[in-house]
Structure 1
Amino acid sequence: MNHNKQNPLGIIAIFASLAEVFGTVVLKFLPNNIQMIFVWFVICFPVLIVLLFFFVLYKKPENFYSPDYYKNDNNFLQAIRQKLNILGNEVANDSTVPQDIREKVQQKIDLAQEQLSEIDIVNDEDKISLIIDGFRIEANTVKSFYRNVFDYLTANDIEFEQLVPFKTGNKRYLISKDGKHISGRAFFAPIIYDGYYIETHKSKIGAKSDIIKFLNALSLKVES
């Protein structure tokens, strides 16, 4: 790991210091009626920069850290995944955004998640897999696994609309039309597929168990 890295606050301090130095040099060349305005600018500018820095640091701290700041690459990738999950959840639950735009954004987020998964070194034991009517489906993440399953259903003209919404418990749905669970809470990490919301906020074991129940309800032959 490279430890010769400059802290973002240090870079801002250098920038503010240079602005102060050059501002002081320029001051004596300005007309008298402008000098007072410029003095206030020189005073307020670095203060504003520092306040903006801490505001962004509070709201989006991960934006200030390069991969070198993390103990290992997996921590960095995990931070990106969490950010994508939050963004996906915000888009999915924003009713002001048109449905087609939400679907396109969600697809881009899902693709990014899947590309991140390809970076990881995943053992066969870590993958989610099952066989539907002799066809094997597997993936590294719950989102990509669910998407692959529904791609299979669509490609084989298997209708599943009659099962929507599909319960996986007393409070939760696997898939629904409005992205809300039985309890009324919004899906935490949904993917949007053909206008339907599919909840992916669950463990790999739980995801596999839920989708097997769903496929069994469709009278499909499923093998683990």
Structure 2
Amino acid sequence: MMRNITIKNPLSIIAVFSTITEGLCIYGLPNLTEKNQDIFVWFIICFPTVLITIFFLTLNFNHSVLYAPSDFIGVDKDTTKKFFKTNKYIGGQKENKELKDKQKTEIDKPILSKVKSEINVDEFLKNSSIIGVFALYAVSLSKIKEKPFNINQLCDEVSLLTGDYTVGYLIASSSLGLFSRTNYSKKWVIVEYNGILMNKIENEVENRINNNPKELEYLKSQKKAIEEFFA
């Protein structure tokens, strides 16, 4: 019985692509003319060589791009940091220097998006990743406690919240009007938060935890870590 193959990260895509390419090449080789066969044989020889060379260069200089954020759910923070330390990753996501430089130019610049009540919160939460839901929960606590926060420090304390993914998700959520913030170089100040989302976000977090029995204890610890961060 064949097992289902799940393609969930760049490494899987590379493996499937190279396998299909080589398979089709071998299948088509006997059907070519003798002249074209010579060219095709060289392609079959050179293609995997080039592919392996590029793969090992990537593995040596920037190996973390071969993995998806979901590959690190359930991995403790220290292990993740140790794995990515050569590339200066935070929680499995590489810090983007250009993004940081752009953020520095917006110091003390208020975010113009306003909280919108017409957003379908239920649909938004349904389509959100578990990382996104936990990130929104953290923002809700920041608003409730009136406690500004440094997002990099938050990601350091909560291993589930991966650096660039969490930042991108929260910026997108803010742009949609789920909350508004004032962005400083070091702190996020939450100005407004959607009332409907505020009433539902903790229940959504609990639902995500209970619907993941294999990760139950880990997700509970991540929720607790967020709550302790804003205590």
TM-score w.r.t. the length of structure 1 is: 0.37
Q: Rg: which structure is higher?
A: 1
Q: Which has the higher strand share?
A: 1
Q: Which has the higher helix share?
A: 2
Higher relative CO (CA 8 A, sep ≥ 6), structure 1 or 2? 2
